[in-house]
Structure formats: structure tokens, C-alpha cells
Structure 1
Amino acid sequence: MTVADAPVAVYAALDDHVAAGVAALEAAGFRVVQAGSDDPAELAAAAGDAVALLVGYGRVDEAVLRALPGLRVVSLISQGHDNVDVAACARAGVQVAHLPPVATEEVAVHAWALTLAAVRQLPFFDRASRSASTWASRPRAIPRRLSGLEVGIVGTGRTAAAYAGLAGGHVAALRSWSRSGRPLAGATPVADLHELLATSDVVSLHLPLDDETQGIVDDAFLAAMRPGSWLVNVARGGLVDPAAVARALDSGHLAGAALDVLDKEPAAPGHPLVARDDILLTPHTAWLSAESELAYVVEQAANVIAWLQTGAVTHPVLP
């Protein structure tokens, strides 16, 4: 097979750390194009004959499918697939693959680190320590003893289980809630979400984003939370209504929030949460480590290679 005859795999708007994936795809017989864009027109211009699309958090919908008529596989660089119109892909005969759980430890550790940094008010004290005039300043919400805090976990998947393992033995109580009612090792299951919220000093989100969970953290959710509590989110930004969080912070009902994800990334100017001192933000990096960064790229490419060799991706979104 000549290079001209090789099947084409196109990378959308992924960063520059995809060399291992590119090498694996080329070794498997693909011609690889790095379009560097999620825009359908730019994808079509770069690789209109692509059979495989490797994408990050860009939208994959009817417009992309029309732009790439020969597309047969979409491979994501995450476990979440809320950015893909899976039904449209299925109608078009396009397989959608996501990643196996290659960063469970990293995400759980990040969530626990955000929890500790938030309740200990580390961002405030970091800023205060840099000037003699603010050295003795105290935050609005004075840190509380960790062993006296009650933690509620919303969701009971792998990351939630790892987070529970980190928190267990360090806090006064650990409770969990899930839509399925599935229990979480080390946590007391609670059947009613509002009961969990009302009895938690920290609420940590570990849910997928779908039609049911979109904007689940709204005014009613936040009002049900214990006064002076903290919200932690390393799952999906779309779970949280940022304006509702801002209102809860302004009223003093929430002590603060620690977020690795936002509803729109990167945040646009004027976003209601990014300029606040009572919000701890990290830029969607809960998954990041040297090990996971390599695994993400390699596993994403492996799904495409499996499709070429067997006709089926290894980790399909739909069985």
C-alpha cells in the first residue's frame, strides 16, 4: 500500500503531546493529519477523506459527519462522551470509542487535594502571606478541623470510590448517593439526594454529564446544601450552573467551591466564577500526570488501530 492509498486518521484540536499516538497510527498503516481544529470546514480542508477522527473536547455532530463523509470511527481522549452526538454517529455507521479508566487515581487525588486546599483556605493564605499588610488576614470562612467534617459523594463510580478511599478515616462521616442506588465502599448510602446535601460540609461531584445531570447543581441543589459548606467538582463542568453558584456564594450560603471543570472552557471574559477569591480553580487538569498523559494518547490511538485491524474499537461508547 502506498502512502496515497493509506487510510487517513485526522487529529482535531488536540495539543502537541500526541507524538506517541501519531507514531502508533503510522506504524499500523495510517496516514496521519493533524488539523489542529474542531471546526468542520477546517477538518474537511485538512483531511476530507479521513476514516478516523481523534478528538478532544470538540463537538462531533451532524456538521462534522457531513464534512467527513468517509468517517467510520471517532476516538475520544476521555471517558466522557457528552461532546459527541452518539446517535447521529450510529445512524451514519460511525463507531465511537472512549478511553478505559487510565486516570482514576489522578482524578480522585486531585478531587481530594482540592477538598483539602479549599477547606484549609490555602489559596487565601497563599495570597495573604505575600505581603506584610495581609500577613495576619483571616478568610471569611475560617478553616475547620478535618476530622469534624462530613463529606457527601454524589456518584459511585470508580473515581468516587477512589476518592472515598482517600477521605475514609480522615473525616467525621462519609456518605454517598447515586441515581442507581449503587453503594460505595466505606461510605454510608443515602437514598435521597437532598438528605445527602443537608448533612454534608463538603459535596464532591462524580457524575457523568447527560440530559438528566445537565445543570443538576442549580439554585435548589445549592439551597439544600448545608450552610457554610463547600462544593468540589472534577467531573464535568456542565453539571454546575455557574450563576447559581455565584448567587450562593454572594449570599454566604456556600463557603466556597473548588472546581477543575467549567461549563465552558476556557472561561470567557466575565464568567461569573473566575474572578472570585472564594473559588479555587484548576484548568481541567485533574487527569494529568506523566503516566496518564502518555496513556491517554496511546489508548486513543489503540482504539483506532483496533478498528482497522478487527473492524471494532476496543472501548466502544455503545456496545
Structure 2
Amino acid sequence: MRVLVTDAEYEPLDLEAAVLAEGGHELVVAHCRTAAEVAQAARGADALLVQYAPVTEEVFAAAPSVRLVSRYGVGVDGVDLDAARRHGVWVANVPDYGVAEVALHAVAMLLALLRDLPGRDRAVREHRWHYAAGAPLHRPSTRVLGVVGLGRIGRLAAERAAPWFGACVGHDPALPDDAWPPSVERAGLEEVFARAYAVTLHLPLTARTQGLVGDALLARLPVGSHLVNTSRGGLVDLDAVLRALESGRLAGVALDVLPSEPPDWDHPLVGHPRALITPHAAWYSQESEAELRRKAARNVLEWARTGEPLHPVVRGRS
């Protein structure tokens, strides 16, 4: 088979090549950013390995030889799933490569906000040496933690962070009661925002969750709250977050993901003194990167061997 890597930040692609070589498959590398570029490069390919490049109706129509799209990552919002179904194309992801890393990053961001580590660090760099040189601090045991999304990562983040807080409330309409973590009180989305001193997001990006955290939800937060997002950038309205920071509704925000990456460097939130921003790095460790790359390629290998990838999201035609 001919397997096209549409785009990838990982070089060299030796791990992917080694996995595919087990089945005698050819690996071809492109550097696509647009659907038109993917459509051009994908002609004659049997399967795609995709990081950020969009895979749309245009791609499937132009490259009917493509029968599988395997994404480097959990989210598949860059792939038109309805178009994939219409064309009978399998779509697969890697749902479990960086669970511990993302949960750790979310909790690290949360604790950094709670203790105002960025503010205290700036104070020292400005030659100000005083324990109160920064935002007022509160004891977390007097506050409530909110977790929105309680899949693998959200549950682990709640398990690690909740003991510091007086209570933990969560929202996840997809999680059945028998899988609900006992240390988390189940609540509606608006109730979580109304009660929580700190909210961490662990949701997929869908048509329903796009821009979910905007002015209306942020207005429900207690004054002086914190928001952490290590999930998907499109969940959060950055302009609404900026307004909440400026009004004092938010004391701080920590974002590892943004709606557009890299961001608009002129956006006021990027350099805001109470915004902690990392470059979509929550998933990353040397071990998780290797696991992600091998599993994305193994989706292709197993599909070629058995007719089904390891982690199907859309089931295609045999």
C-alpha cells in the first residue's frame, strides 16, 4: 500500500516507516496545510496519516483511492466525518497515548494559577521580594473544583487535584452513572460554573461544544475564579476570556490549546499578565510522542492486515 503522511511535526518519520515496513507498505511524506494541498498529494494513496491538515469532502472526491484516515491524536475535528461516511472511508485516532501527560499538565497549570506562580516569578524578576507581591491567594480547601468532561484524562485530573479542594463537582452527560467517579459530585454545566472556584476542561470539540465557554458561562463563575483548558482550543471564546480577566471574574486563565495555532500574536490575551499559555504541549513527553506515532501507523497496519484499524471512529467499507 501507499501511505501518505499529509503533515507531521515529527522528523524523521522512522518510527512510522518501521511499523509500516512490517507489512511491506510504502511511506510517502508531504507538507500539506490546506485541503487543496491534501487533495493533490493524496491522489493514488491508500491511507493517510494526518496531524493538522484538513481532510474534507474535496479530499475524498479528488482521491478515491484513500480508504483510511488515521489521525495523530484523539480529536478528529479536522476530518469531515460525514464526508468520510459518504465515501465509505475509515477514520481512526489514537485515544490513549498521553493520558497521564495531559492530566499532569492540567493539574500543573491549575496549581500554578492557585499559587500565582507566574505573578510571583515576575515580581522577583522585577526585583520585588515580598510574599504578597502578586494576586491574593486563597486556601483551596475552602473552594470547589469543577471538572467538565470525565473521560480518561478528566477523571485522572480530578483524582489528582480534588484532594486539595473542599469539594469537586463535575459535568459529563455522556458518562453513565455506573462509571461516575465517587469523589466527584455530578452537576449540570451551569451549576459547575456557578459553584467552582477553578474549572478544568476535558471535552472533545464538536458542533455542540464549539465556543462553549463564552460570556454566558463565564459570568456564572464566582469572582476571582480560574479556568484551565488542555483539551481543544475551540471550546473557549478568547475574547470572552479576556473580558472576564479584565472584569476580575477570572483571576487567571491557563491555556495549552487555542482556537488558532499558532495564535494571533497581537491578541491581548497572549501577553496578558494573568494568562498562562503553553504551546499545545500538554500531551508531550518523549515516550508519549513515540507511542502516538507508532499507534497512528499501527492503525494503518492493522487495517491492511485485518480490515479494521485499532481505534475506529468512522467505519468504512470493507
**TM interval, short-chain normalised:** over 0.9
CA contact (8 A) 2:123 2:134 kept: no
Higher relative contact order (CA 8 A, sep 6+): 2
What value does the CA root-mean-square deviation take over the aligned residues? 1.8
Deviation at 1:82, TM superposition (A): 1.1
Q: Could you tell me which of 209, 219, 223 is aligned with 2:219? A: 223
Q: Could you tell me which of 258, 264, 267 is aligned with 1:262? A: 258
Corresponding residue for 2:185? 188
Deviations 1:64-88 (A, max 9, x none): 2234231111000111111111110
Corresponding residue for 1:24? 19
- What is the TM-score of this pair, normalised by structure 1? 0.92
Deviation at 1:137, TM superposition (A): 8.2
Q: Could you tell me which of 206, 210, 213 is aligned with 1:210? A: 206
Aligned residues: 311
CA contact (8 A) 1:194 1:225 kept: no
Corresponding residue for 1:301? 297
Partner Cα separation in structure 1 for residue 16 and residue 259 of structure 2: 28
Deviation at 1:140, TM superposition (A): 5.7
Q: Could you tell me which of 61, 69, 81 is aligned with 1:66? A: 61
Corresponding residue for 1:148? 142
Which residues in structure 2 correspond to 1:26-105 (within 5 Å)? 26-105=21-100
Where structure 1 has 5 or more consecutive residues not aligned to the other structure, the ranges are 1-6
CA contact (8 A) 2:102 2:282 kept: yes
Q: What letter corresponds to residue 38 of structure 1 in structure 2?
A: R
Corresponding residue for 2:229? 233
CA contact (8 A) 2:42 2:59 kept: no
Percentage identity across aligned positions?
A: 42
Partner Cα separation in structure 1 for residue 185 and residue 149 of structure 2: 13
The answer to whether 1:279 aligns with 2:270 is no
Deviation at 1:45, TM superposition (A): 4.9
CA contact (8 A) 2:230 2:255 kept: yes
Deviations 1:247-295 (A, max 9, x none): 1111111111111110111102322421111110111111111211110
- What is the TM-score of this pair, normalised by structure 2? 0.92
Partner Cα separation in structure 2 for residue 181 and residue 293 of structure 1: 28
Partner Cα separation in structure 1 for residue 171 and residue 100 of structure 2: 21
The answer to whether 1:200 aligns with 2:200 is no
Partner Cα separation in structure 1 for residue 287 and residue 228 of structure 2: 24
Where structure 2 has 5 or more consecutive residues not aligned to the other structure, the ranges are none
Corresponding residue for 1:167? 161
Partner Cα separation in structure 1 for residue 33 and residue 87 of structure 2: 19
